Amino acid sequence: MSLNVELARNNMIEQQVRPWDVLDERVLEALSAIRREDFLPEAVQNLAFADMELPLGHGEVALKPVIEGRLLQGVAPSRGESVLEIGTGCGFLTACLARLGGNVTSVEQHADFVEAARAHLAAAGIRNVHIEHADAVNAYRPGQQFDVMLVTGAVAELPPRWREWIKPGGRLLAIVGESPVQSAILYTRGGEWSEQSLFETDLPYLTHAAPAARFAL
């Protein structure tokens, strides 16, 4: 293990993530314990701890570490809770969810991402993840409800059917709105649904989830 790599990892936590109000020690431990660099494409592994989005292919990106930290803290899966993730990407956030929660189902539309993430999770010894190859916006049907759902790409509006996937008392965290001003919104299913805006950001849209095109004369 390179001391320089571990120093860079620690600096990512202490100089980027924690100062952005990510104070949940379980989340910080997960971000530190999971080797982020091992989940990224080789071409960008040297930037694994940088405060920037990293290209994965297909126009998709790995989120900034600060955004990953805020998302994990916002949805806060507990051990034993079932988790649904929309957008596996490189699989790093998936691995963190698996460390924090119970069984994780992750949905990814790109077959090569599915294969790579499965390999990386296996290499990391993470066994409580099942990855589905599907379009989560229009086609996916989970066949069960979950305690926690995290959406890793933006949607112009929350698809109504996603609410049906959440158990009573459960929560759903999604990035909602129109670029460049989107909000991370935590939806909680009580007797009625409640909403809490956590922070503002600007992320790429999930496929089929961008705002409708506007035509101007």
- pLDDT tens digit string along 174-201? 999 999 999 999 999 999 999 999 999 9
- How far, in Å, CA of 55 to CA of 188, rounded? 32
**Contact residues for 1 (Cβ-Cβ < 8 A; gap 6+):** none
- How far, in Å, CA of 7 to CA of 138, rounded? 43
Bond into 180 cis (ω within 30): yes
Instruction: Provide the pLDDT confidence category of residue 215 given band limits of 50, 70 and 90.
Output: low
CATH architecture of 3-201: 3-Layer(aba) Sandwich (3.40)
Q: Are 13 and 24 in contact (CB under 8 A)?
A: no
206: β partners: none
Locate tokens 């989940």: which residue? 39
11: amino acid identity, one letter:
N
203: amino acid identity, one letter:
L
- pLDDT tens digit string along 27-75? 999 999 999 999 999 999 999 999 999 999 999 999 999 999 999 999 9
Whole-structure pTM value:
0.95
Does the pLDDT value for residue 212 go beyond 90?
no
- How far, in Å, CA of 25 to CA of 7, rounded? 18
DSSP secondary structure, 7-72, as one string: HHHHHIIIIIIGGGT---HHHHHHHHHS-GGGGS-GGGGGGTTSSS-EEEETTEEEPPHHHHHHHH
Which of these, 95, 102, 96, lies nearest to 147 by C-alpha position?
102
According to DSSP, the β-strands at 129-133 and 104-108 are parallel
Which of these, 37, 167, 161, lies nearest to 102 by C-alpha position?
167
The mean pLDDT of the chain is 96
Locate tokens 């809770």: which residue? 81
